[in-house]
Amino acid sequence: MSTQASERGITPPQLPENQQTKETLLDSTHALLAPGQGNQRRGMGLDLANSSGAARGVWKKVDEVLQPDLGYLLSEKVWRGSEADLSDNAQFAVITDALARKAALEEAGLLGKPGWHGGNSLGLITALVNAGSLSVDGAAHLANGRREAIGLVINEAPKTTMVSLEEVDEARVEEVKKKNNLVTCLINTDSQVVIGGRVEDIEIAVQELKGMGERKVFPMEVNAAFHSEHMRKAVPFWTKVVSSAPIEVPKSGIVVGASTGEVRKLLTIEDIKTELILQLTNTERYRDVAKFLRLQGVTQMTELNAIGRLTHMNHSIFGEGSRQRIALPTDTKIAVANRWVAPVEVMEEKSTPSEERVSRDAVKEFYLGWISDRVGGDPKELSEEMSFQEGAGLDSADIMALRAAIRAKYGRNIPDEEAAKILTIEAGIDATYKLMNS
């Protein structure tokens, strides 16, 4: 298991070796992404719930959990309520809709086993559910606490808001920010940022930027400058909510966050809770998360939203790749999710000269050294006959990391069909040796 987990006495759940198949292995090239607030629409998820029993079950579950606190059914407010009803329940709606979409994809066999999880802003809560770190009940209660915490800011002066800037000159943005005491709230892509501050200061900044000739300046209909110091009053209450949340170590893939200023893997309960708390007052950096995932070898990012805003951002960030709409086989009119897929890299076919061939002994030395560094101990004590899970103590997340290390060292990626066979150290060495010299 990972060093961080072992230090905290955590033993990741493991399947018996004879039950470990290709289907149970995580796909290190696939990331599942959850959208944030702003993606809500009246009636969202109703068509999908009518077509998917799994999606309908998620909405029903959240209704049961929240009704005692809210006094009404969330689904009724989202599907048949007014715009005001939707606005009041936006956080619940976005999370529930995303979880329902994941359930529908799984029910239809369209999702697979994503090895990475991320969420934009509010979407982090959804990502925790997707990674097995939080239950649907826990997510509903956490979202309710988040709403209450944010309400402490919204209901007090001074009033704050945000404005989205696209393809705006960076120097001008910095000039206007400094002059009007504004802050960067979100970095979505290299060409799109969101800045925030007091309502009157934002209004002045908008006019100044337009006066400089900038045209893509879009004031947002929000009632707070999220992800900034303007949310500081919400922190004490939110910290109490997060501290008592039933969060566990992720069981299915790795969750990532960037609220410390750099992207990091959230491997422990402490990591996750710290990220949730810091996220409230620190810049949200979706651009950096997407780039980090790409560097880890992720080639497809599935967004649990019909609109496809994150998918569009991915295309802007990378300047390439394709965008795919995922629909139910039983009803192709319903868009369940969107997916960004990296372009296929065309490798030049050539034989490796004999003097450049990687010896099996070299691969073995690399393997055993990497494993011993990961789990501790002497590499000489590891035998090739040991299974990863039982002998070396590696879980599925560690195996993903091992594949990434192989790619970094040798410039080649073990395909999923080979990774499914890596249940013993010997098989892993043989698969890598074969790949390096094919």
pLDDT, tens digit, for every residue of 95-106? 999 999 999 999
Residues 99 and 46 both lie in one domain: yes
Reference 153, options 220, 226, 89; nearest CA is: 226
Q: What is the mean pLDDT of residues 391-413?
A: 65
Angle at which helices 123-130 and 269-279 cross, to 10°? 160
Residue found under tokens 């997060």: 242
Task: State the pLDDT at residue 380.
Answer: 64
Sign of CA dihedral 221, 223, 229, 234: negative
Residue 138 shares a structural domain with residue 183: no
Residues 347-352, mean pLDDT to the nearest whole number: 38
84: CATH: 3.40.366.10
Distance CA 349, CA 438 (A): 10
- Picking from 316, 341, 366, the residue at the C-terminal end of a domain is 341
How many domains are there within the chain? 3
Segment among 162-176, 224-238, 313-327, 384-398 with least mean pLDDT:
384-398
Domain membership of residue 256 (yes or no) is yes
Structural domain of 208: 160-222
pLDDT of residue 11: 31
Residue 391 has pLDDT above 60, yes or no: no
- In the predicted model, what is the mean pLDDT of residues 119-128? 95
pTM of the entire predicted model: 0.75
Predicted local distance difference test score (pLDDT) of residue 13: 33
Q: 396: which 2 tokens? A: 């599925």
- At residue 366, the pLDDT reads 78
pLDDT-derived band at 379 (thresholds 50, 70, 90) equals: low
Same domain, yes or no, for 241 and 95? Answer: yes
To the nearest 10 degrees (0 to 180), the angle between helices 123-130 and 90-107 is: 30
Token pair 């606190």: residue = 69
Q: Identify whether residues 58 and 186 lie together within a single domain.
A: no
Question: Greater confidence, 249 or 14?
Answer: 249
Q: Do 274 and 378 sit in the same domain of this protein?
A: no
348 domain residue, yes or no:
no
Q: What is the mean predicted confidence (pLDDT) over 67-77? A: 95
Structural domain ending residue among the three candidates 320, 341, 362: 341
pLDDT tens column, 16-47: 343 344 445 889 999 999 998 877 888 899 99
pLDDT tens digits along 293-319: 999 999 999 999 988 999 999 999 998
Q: What are the DSSP E strand ranges found in 173-239?
A: 183-189, 192-198, 217-219
Does residue 276 sit in the same domain as residue 423? no
Cβ distance 110 to 254 under 8 Å? no
Determine how many CB atoms are found less than 10 A away from the CB of residue 216. 12
- What would the mean pLDDT of 68-74 be, rounded to a whole number? 94
Q: How far is CA 103 from the centre of its chain?
A: 16
| Residue 5 located in a structural domain | no
**406: confidence class by pLDDT, cuts 50, 70, 90:** confident
Are 209 and 115 part of one and the same domain? no
Are 390 and 259 contained in the same domain?
A: no
Same domain (yes/no): 107, 166: no
In whole angstroms, give the CA distance from residue 42 to residue 37.
Answer: 13
CATH number, residue 420: 1.10.1200.10
DSSP readout, 241-264?
A: HHHTS-----SSSEEEE-TTSS-E
Last residue of a domain, one of 279, 308, 341: 341
Q: Are residues 286 and 305 in the same domain?
A: yes
Q: What is the mean pLDDT of residues 56-65?
A: 96
pLDDT at 425: 72
Residue 181 lies in a domain: yes
Residue 370: band (very low, low, confident or very high) from pLDDT cuts 50, 70, 90: confident
